[in-house]
Amino acid sequence: MSTNTVDNKRKVTTARLTEMKQRGEKIAMLTAYDYSMAKLIDQAGMDVILVGDSASNVMAGNVTTLPITLDQMIYHAKSVVKGVNRALVVCDMPFGTYQGNSKEALASAIRIMKESHAEAVKLEGGAEVRESIERILSAGIPVMGHLGLTPQSINKFGTYAVRAKEEAEAEKLVADAHLLEEFGCFAMVIEKVPAALAERVAKEVSIPIIGIGAGGGCDGQVLVIHDMLGINQDFSPKFLRRYADLSTVINDAVGRYIDDVKSCDFPNQNEQY
């Protein structure tokens, strides 16, 4: 269990995240997609659990986040919520459920909240998704924004390289961050941009900035659980710190199980009725 949060059992709310930013207390966020992992992450003292559309990659094996459906996200979020007592649970809105039509966006967000019991939604983009954000917020649903590298736009970007290195894109990102704050988003993720830019945004806006590959000047950090636990070996960007090597642990355990079954060592006398 984290030494920071071990004594703190109070439920995390969107208001509490604002207070944390005001106090200068960093916000820890990780993804989860199922009940058992969410329970472990919550018990360790996580502040925010994101049911990310990265489920499309790490759970379903898709190359991008685009194929995952609203029904699938609701399934994952519902499982996560059952394992969580303390963390704020935020569910990603999948590609195609909020862009273009704000009524559909609201209907998608309502389904997420009603069916999964997640406490907030996250969606990608700035000015271009203004109507959707405002309509979702008008129904009392908290919205987390997501700027910088927005994986649902991979076909437009053509690459997962660092975003907003050029001045024009950096200024658009700063403007979008101010807009998200004005619209009423409670926080935003900023992904894979230069650290100085993310730090500038974190200083300029009053809502928490949760970074991934955006440096230490953000108000909090998020990683994909499969990446930080070393379950996913195919992904090693510079920003990723691995806290475990579970692929080796799992490979070793599974290999020993196979050997024990083949050699008739498992089950032994004490492992049967």
CB nearer ligand KIV, residue 205 or residue 224: 224
User: CB 54 → ligand KIV: shortest distance, Å?
Assistant: 3
CB nearer ligand KIV, residue 31 or residue 116: 31
Catalytic residue ranges:
191
Alpha carbon distances (Å) from 208 to 21, 79, 146: 6, 26, 12
User: CB 204 → ligand KIV: shortest distance, Å?
Assistant: 21
User: CB 58 → ligand KIV: shortest distance, Å?
Assistant: 8
User: CB 271 → ligand KIV: shortest distance, Å?
Assistant: 39
Which two tokens mark 231?
A: 């379950």
CB nearer ligand KIV, residue 113 or residue 210: 210
Look up tokens 């329970």; give the residue.
Answer: 39
CB nearer ligand KIV, residue 74 or residue 189: 189
Look up tokens 């954000």; give the residue.
Answer: 133
CB nearer ligand KIV, residue 141 or residue 212: 212
User: CB 224 → ligand KIV: shortest distance, Å?
Assistant: 5
List residues binding ligand KIV (CB under 6 A): 31, 50, 52-54, 92, 189, 212, 222, 224
Residue nearest to ligand KIV (CB): 52
